[in-house]
Amino acid sequence: MSRPWLLVCLLLIIVFTSQFEWKPQYGNEIEASPIASRKQQYISEREESVKEKIILSQEKNIQKLNELVRSLREQLLQCRGENEVDNGTTTPLTELLTELERQPLLED
């Protein structure tokens, strides 16, 4: 019977001492909290800034690619028109422009 009582007492001592050790640590965390929150806020602001720069860069790249696609489509239509003229068939310019406008472009 003494062994279970000894274990219970030992457990209670561990619980109480651990509670006393936690309280000072909790107090230090409160003091460090404003500094940590400012640091975390600064880090999150920097992350947002970097994300915005990446997005702007990607948007510029998309615009350049859209311009290239548009230019290549115009060249393709010109080649088709020249080929049709060489073969004796002609397609009016309005049909070529309509075909160019019908083809989907990547939008921002």
pLDDT digits (tens, 9 = 90+) for 50-82: 999 999 999 999 999 999 999 998 888 888 777
Token readout for 26 is 């909790």
Lowest mean pLDDT among 24-28, 42-46, 103-107: 24-28
Q: What is this structure's pTM?
A: 0.46
- What are the sequence ranges of the domains in the chain? 3-102
Count how many Cα atoms sit within 13 Å of the Cα of residue 61 in the half-sphere of its side chain.
Answer: 6
DSSP structural state of residue 103? S
Nearest residue to 64 (alpha-carbon basis) of 98, 106, 11: 106
Nearest residue to 96 (alpha-carbon basis) of 88, 10, 82, 38: 82
pLDDT of residue 9: 86
How far apart are alpha carbons 94 and 52 in whole angstroms?
A: 41
Lowest mean pLDDT among 8-12, 19-23, 76-80, 94-98: 19-23
